[in-house]
Structure 1
């Protein structure tokens, strides 16, 4: 599929944004990404007046966005007082990883069993954009958003977007620890190669290979969080 660079990047940006449908969802998406990228680190006070001015919105959509972030466990709202970005909870990190691994393993097995040419085509396009921007440090946030969109595309391929949204709502603590990892060229390459191996197995209709590829891609040692907690104690509860 021969698609120009400009069009590929635009597709990537549209996919990463998830098609923002309202002021509230747009604010939620933007603040969520800032929190996950640690641009807004744990413990940050979110000043509602400043946010309303920044997003040029009234109180209502901002309040709705913050309430959704609180439901995700990413902020704590103190009524009539302040809103604070939560610190990372290690137990919630492990819970989020368990849920993600369990559901994504089933997704790739279903795709490999049933066949998914359209899903594979869409996912390879996302990988194409990741390859183009992977060596550009200024595009790291877009790369990370595309990583999420890649996995969302797999869920969409079996009609289970709701299950991806469930993971998304439960993985905020996990995703923040993942963002603490250094994204070296080797790490970027490993992520892209992992995506390719998953798709190759699905395309080959090899259920066992797809299972092995997603498990390898999502693998974490039991004590993997400890290193980051020791390095960033102020970020953890």
Structure 2
């Protein structure tokens, strides 16, 4: 993290600290086992320790850290079980979302999704992994907006934190962006046809990618994963 972090007065401090730490852990710049210091982080934000503790609690709820009394807060290893459970829950939510989106998507919204996919392709071509994953999230977020159920995205974000760590480890190794973009286009084509069944099938196949990518990445990055 940067030496000094600038706060936005319009957003609660604990949420900002959570977002910064979540991004650092998810993007694999903070490895498992790292001790997170309340004192150091509160100094970086120039705040008291209370909002830092609140951020730690939120990270623990998302399976990213473990809070051990009298010992400290440590970044967790990745749990294959938690990844599988998160993917299952996400598929259930997004299957319902995509069916609703297929029934009420507008031409303008379809153009917005297509523009997003063109930006994804550009990011992939330039090996901009962080940009690609941001656009990937934006694509899925937009589906909840189209369905008129944006609250669903907040739920998805909470459960997919552990999944996102695997995404960063697997990108280019197991799930190359170009393949994911092809899957996104299948979702878009189903929406263009206003076909709920095809849209649901496309998004389920897309989210199943996580099933096939976890095992090989766990074998090649054993230090990042819990022992089964």
Is 2:103 the counterpart of 1:103? no
Distance 2:188 2:55 in 1: 34
- Give structure 1 stretches of 5+ with no counterpart: 1-19
Match of 2:208 in 1: 219
Distance 1:221 1:129 in 2: 23
After TM superposition, the score normalised by the length of structure 1 is 0.81
Match of 1:14 in 2: none
Among candidates 16, 19, 24, match of residue 34 of structure 1: 24
After TM superposition, the score normalised by the length of structure 2 is 0.83
Q: Which moved more, 1:28-37 or 1:173-182?
A: 173-182
Is 2:110 the counterpart of 1:120? yes
CA 116–28 in structure 1, closer or farther in 2 if over 3 Å, else same: farther
CA RMSD of aligned residues (A): 2.4
List, as ranges, runs of 4+ consecutive aligned residues in structure 1 with deviation greater than 6 Å.
none
Q: Is the Cα contact below 8 Å between 1:116 and 1:202 reproduced in 2? A: no
Match of 2:59 in 1: 69
Match of 1:93 in 2: 83
Q: Is the Cα contact below 8 Å between 1:43 and 1:235 reproduced in 2? A: no
Match of 1:11 in 2: none
Deviations 1:65-95 (A, max 9, x none): 2211111111112245311111111111111
Distance 1:103 1:192 in 2: 21
Deviations 1:140-185 (A, max 9, x none): 212212211211111122222222222221222222222221426x
Q: Is the Cα contact below 8 Å between 2:129 and 2:171 reproduced in 1? A: no
Distance 2:66 2:210 in 1: 30
Q: Is the Cα contact below 8 Å between 2:62 and 2:162 reproduced in 1? A: no
Among candidates 162, 167, 176, match of residue 151 of structure 2: 162
Q: What is the correspondence of 1:131-210 to structure 2 with a 5 Å cutoff?
A: 131-137=121-127, 139-183=128-172, 187-210=176-199
- Give structure 2 stretches of 5+ with no counterpart: 1-9
SS of the counterpart of 1:84?
Answer: strand
Compute the displacement of 1:38 (Å). Answer: 1.0
Distance 1:123 1:223 in 2: 26
SS of the counterpart of 1:211?
Answer: helix
Is 2:225 the counterpart of 1:236? yes
SS of the counterpart of 1:134?
Answer: helix
Tell me the number of residue pairs that the alignment of Structure 1 and Structure 2 aligns. Answer: 217
